[in-house]
Amino acid sequence: MASSVGKKSLHEVRFPGESNEYRQARDELLKAEIDLRRKIEAVAAQRRKLPLGGTVPSDYIFEEWDAEKNAARPVRLSELFEDGKDTLFLYSFMFIPGKKGLPLEEGCPSCTSIIDAIDGAAKHLKQQINFAVVAKAPIAQFRAHAKTRGWSHARLLSSTSNTYNRDYHAESPDGEQSPIATVFARRNGKIHHSWSSELMVVPSDPGQDMRHVDFMWPLWLILDRTPGGRGTDWRPELHYS
């Protein structure tokens, strides 16, 4: 291990060929990263202290695919809570109009990018909480989209026959879909709203994206750590050549 550069350096680790100028700038950035980590932990603690939100207005009936019967089956919101797990995380997945004005719909590329990554983590999540992805599209269509992506772990639900999307702000009055993450908590037999990614509905800071679901989107977290960052005009796609 190389000796430290400067008495005020935060640590003695050095990477090949780095200059004093780089180390000084990196130490300043490291201080900012440490401060950010503290803020993230503080906000997480504040989030955990939220009082219970309102009880759900309905025991919504969703549809999911029954592989054994090779057909759709109804499942209630209350049935999404497994024994011993009183937290439910639902991600509202967007389907958008097809290209060239076609009436068919396709899965949102951004939502798809998120679940591409989360699907592999779903088995880990399910050790602690209940987790599912909800789309306002027929379950057969959602399942077909999932199959093209190779998803095999995330629980998929259709909300075509209920008002969940409208009630929890994943759908506008004119039917436009929005991505939003929502957490529910079960207490004493009742299901309460706990938290939603509400950054999407507050006035945005000038020049800032709402980034309300970035916390579950590894793509941007990695790009944020590169010299080019996220870029200004690139977004995920459904297909790559």
For residue 81, the domain's CATH number is 3.40.30.10
Q: For tokens 């793509």, what's the residue?
A: 219
Both tokens of 192, joined, read 């309460």
> Backbone phi, then psi, for 74, in 5-degree steps?
-80, 150
Please check whether residues 81 and 178 belong to one and the same domain. yes
Asked if residue 8 belongs to a domain, the reply is: no
Asked if residue 227 belongs to a domain, the reply is: no
pLDDT on residue 48: 97
Give the domain range for residue 138. Answer: 61-198
> Strands, DSSP E only, in the chain?
61-66, 71-76, 87-93, 95-97, 105-107, 130-135, 156-158, 180-187, 190-196
Instruction: Print pLDDT tens along the chain (241 aa).
Output: 444 444 579 999 999 999 999 999 999 999 999 999 999 999 999 999 999 999 999 999 999 999 899 999 999 999 999 999 999 999 999 998 766 555 557 899 999 999 999 999 999 999 999 999 999 999 999 999 999 999 999 999 999 999 999 999 999 998 889 999 999 999 999 999 999 999 989 888 887 777 899 999 999 999 999 999 988 888 999 988 6
Please check whether residues 123 and 186 belong to one and the same domain. yes
Please check whether residues 116 and 143 belong to one and the same domain. yes
Please check whether residues 172 and 130 belong to one and the same domain. yes
pLDDT on residue 138: 94
Please check whether residues 41 and 120 belong to one and the same domain. no
Asked if residue 76 belongs to a domain, the reply is: yes
Residue 70 CB burial class (10 angstroms; 0-12, 13-18, ≥19): exposed
Asked if residue 218 belongs to a domain, the reply is: no
Please check whether residues 42 and 73 belong to one and the same domain. no
Asked if residue 189 belongs to a domain, the reply is: yes
**pTM to 2 decimal places:** 0.90
Please check whether residues 65 and 44 belong to one and the same domain. no
Asked if residue 152 belongs to a domain, the reply is: yes
The dihedral region occupied by 66, where left means phi > 0, alpha psi between -120 and 50, and beta the remainder, is beta
> What total number of domains does the chain contain?
2
